[in-house]
Amino acid sequence: MNSTVIILVAALIYAGLYMLYGKALQNKVVKADPNRPTPAHRLYDGVDYVPAHPIVLYGHHFASIAGAGPIVGPAVAMAWGWLPSLLWVWFGNVFIGAVHDYLALMSSVRYDGKSIQWVAGKLMSKRTSMAFELYVWFALVLVIAAFAAVISGIFVGTPEAATASLLFLIDAIILGYLLYKMKINFYVGTAIGLILLVFAVWLGFKFPIVASKQIWMIVLGIYIIIASSLPVWVLLQPRDYLNAYILWFGLLLGGVAFIVVGLKGAGTFTAPAFTTWSANVVGGKPSPFWPTVPLVIACGALSGFHSIVGSGTTSKQLDNELHGLLVGYGGMFTEGFLSTIVIASIAVYGLKVFQTMNIPVDTTNWGAQYAIQVVKHGIKVGIFAKSYAYGLEDAFGIPFKTGAVFASLWVSAFALTTLDTATRLGRFAWQEIMDMIHGPEILKNKWVASIILAIFGIYMAWGGSWLIIWPAFSGMNQMLASIAMMTASLWVAKVQRPEGAWKWAVVIPALFLWITVTAALVWFLVVIKPGFWVSLITVVGLLLNLLLVVDWYAAWKKPAEEYATA
C-alpha cells in the first residue's frame, strides 16, 4: 500500500460524507433552525455561557476532543497491523463517532446547554441522571490520569515542547484580553496571537525546560485547577483556538507530506497489514482483536469524552444552531483524518524508527513485540513523532530534529487542552452531583471541586502503568459513548421523531458499542487484573452502566407522546 492512496481516500471519504450524511442529519434529524436563539445568547453569563465565533468554537471543541487520543490510540493499535487500525478508524468515525458528537452537542443546545447526563435524566429518570453523573466523574478522573501521564512523558522527552507549551498559555491570555476586553478586530487579534505563537515555539527551541516527570505532574496539577476555574474567555477559548492552528497546520503539512512521499516512491507501507488476532498490547498480554481494538484506538474513531465536551463547554458557546454541524460533526471527521495520518506515517516509517534505535522489532515479531517495545522505550508518542519527522524530511527536506520537536509539540499542545477541559467538565459533574444530594456549599465551590478532581487524577497518574491506565480510560470512555448514544437515540426517537429509519442510525451503533465495551471491560478486569484504584473505578463504571441500560429500556418502551418537544 502507498501513503498517497490512503491520504487521498480518507480525504474523499470525510469530505463526501460531511456533505451527504452530515447535512442529512442536520436537516432530517436535528432540524437545525438558525433563527432559534441558542443558550449562549439566552443564558449569557460571561463565564460559561458566551457566544463564540464558529471558527473559534470549532478550534476549542476540536482541540479539546482531539488531545493525544487520536495519536496515541492508533499508534498503539498498530500492533494488530495497519489495516485493522485504519478500518476501525474510518468505520467508527463515520457511522458512530461523528453522529455521537453532533447529536450530543445539539441535544444539549435544545436543553439550555445542559450536560448529556442531565439530558439522560430528563428523558429517563432522576436515578439515571445521578448514575450518569457519577459515571462521568469517575471517567474524567481516568482522563486526567491518562493525559497527565502522556504530557509529562512528552515534556521529559522533548523539553522544547514544555517551554513552548507554557508560553502558549501567556499568549492565550493576551489574545483573550485583546478580543474580549479591548474588543479588538477578530482577525487582527488572531494575527497577533499567531505571531506570539511562532515566537513561543522559537523560544522553546532556544530555552528548553528540563524537569522530572513528577515535577511536571505537580505543575500540571496546579495548572488544571487554575485553568478549569477561570472564565472560559480568559484562557480556555483563546488557547484552544490558537492550538487549533497548530493542529490544522500539522494536519495540512502531514497530509501533503505523505502524499508527496508516496508520489516520490518512498511512501510504501513497510509495517505489516495484519499481524494476529491476539497481539500483545494491553498490559503486554495477548489481547483479542474484538473487543479490545475499540478500547485502544479510542478517540481516533469515537469517544464518549466528546459528548461531555459537546454538552459541557461547547453547547454553552454555540452562536447559531447551523454552526453545530461544523463544530460537532466536522470536528470528529477532522480527528479521524488526523488518526489516518498517524497510521500512515507509522506504517511507512515505523520499522525505520525501530532500526535506528536498535529496538528488536521487525515484520516477523511485530504483533508480539510492537506495543511492548514501544512502552519499554518510552516512545508511545515518539514512534509517531519520529515517523512524522521522517516524512517531512523525505517530502520537503525539513531537518529530522525540527520535525520531531514540532510533532511532539503538536501532541502536547492538544493533550493539554483535553486535560484542562476534562477538569472543567469534571468540576461541572461534581457540582451537579452536589446539587442532587444537597451537599455542603463548600464542596460546590468551583475551586474546591477542581482541586478534588486534580488530586485524584494526578495521584493515579503518578505511579500508574501507562498500558494499564490507557485501556481503563478507553474502556470507560467507549462505554460513555454508548450511553451517550443511547441518550441521543431516545432524544431522536421520542422528541425529534424523524421520518423513516433515521432513529436506527443511532440505536444500532449504541447497542453495538454497549456489547463490545462491556465485554472488553469484563475481559480487562479478569485477564489483566489492574491495580486496586483502576479496578475499583472500572467495577463502579460497569455497575452504573448496567443500571443505565435498564433505565434506557424502560424509557424506550414509553410512547413518544409522553415526551415534550425541545
Q: Is the dihedral of CA 360, 361, 363, 368 positive or negative?
A: positive
Question: Which grid cell sits at 450?
Answer: 477542581
Residue-wise pLDDT tens digits, 17-66 = 999 999 999 999 999 999 999 999 999 988 789 899 898 899 888 877 87
> Would you call 198 exposed, middle or buried from its count of C-beta atoms within 10 A (0-12, 13-18, 19+)?
exposed
- Residue 467 pLDDT class (50, 70, 90 cuts): low
* Structure-block grid coordinates of residue 361: 522489532
pLDDT in tens, 136-180: 888 888 888 888 888 888 888 888 888 988 888 888 889 888 888
Q: For the residues 494-523, what does the mean pLDDT come to? A: 88
Under DSSP, is residue 559 helix (H, G, I), strand (E, B) or coil? coil
**pLDDT tens digits, residue range 93-106?**
998 999 999 999 99
Per-residue confidence (pLDDT) for residue 259, from 0 to 100? 95
Which of 82-86, 467-471, 476-480 has the weakest average pLDDT?
Answer: 467-471
pLDDT digits 0-9 by tens, 336-368 = 999 999 999 999 999 999 999 999 999 899 988
Pairwise CA distance, residues 443 & 222, whole Å: 18
Domain boundaries, the chain: 3-277+299-460
pLDDT at 11: 94
Using only the alpha carbons of the chain, give its radius of gyration. 22
Is the pLDDT score of 466 beyond 70? no
Backbone phi, then psi, for 99, in 5-degree steps?
-65, -45
What does DSSP say about strands 286-288 and 278-280: parallel, antiparallel, or unpaired?
Answer: antiparallel
**Residue of 72, 135, 65, 73 lying closest to 105 (CA atoms):** 65
Positive or negative torsion for Cα 247, 248, 249, 255:
positive
Helices (H), 357-445: 366-376, 382-396, 400-436, 441-444
Q: What pLDDT does residue 165 have?
A: 85
Indicate the pTM of the whole model: 0.84
Q: Is the peptide bond before 291 cis (omega within 30 degrees of 0)?
A: yes
Q: Which three cell numbers stand for residue 212?
A: 522530572
Percent of the chain at pLDDT exceeding 70: 98
Mean pLDDT confidence for 291-303: 83
471 falls in which pLDDT band (50, 70, 90)? low
Residue 76 has pLDDT above 80, yes or no: yes
| Residue 287, SS3 per DSSP | strand
User: Tens digits of per-residue pLDDT, 103-137?
Assistant: 999 999 999 999 898 899 899 888 888 888 887 88
| The pLDDT value given to residue 6 | 95
Fold classification of 3-277+299-460 is Sodium/glucose cotransporter (1.20.1730)
User: In this model, does residue 515 exceed pLDDT 80?
Assistant: yes
- pLDDT for position 565: 61
Per the model's pLDDT, the better-predicted residue between 17 and 413 turns out to be: 17
Q: Is the pLDDT of residue 280 over 70?
A: yes
- What value does the mean pLDDT of the chain take? 87
Q: What is residue 469's predicted lDDT score, i.e. its pLDDT?
A: 65
Instruction: Say what the pLDDT of residue 132 is.
Output: 80
CA 416 to CA 63: how far, in whole Å?
9
Instruction: Specify the pLDDT at position 527.
Output: 87
Q: Would you say residue 470 has pLDDT above 70?
A: no
pLDDT of residue 464: 57
Q: Convert the pLDDT of each residue in 214-253 to its tens digit.
A: 899 999 999 989 888 888 788 877 887 887 788 788 889 9
In 3D space, the residue among 52, 33, 538 whose CA is nearest the CA of residue 316 turns out to be 52
Q: What is the model's pLDDT at position 532?
A: 79
231: cis peptide before it, omega within 30°? no
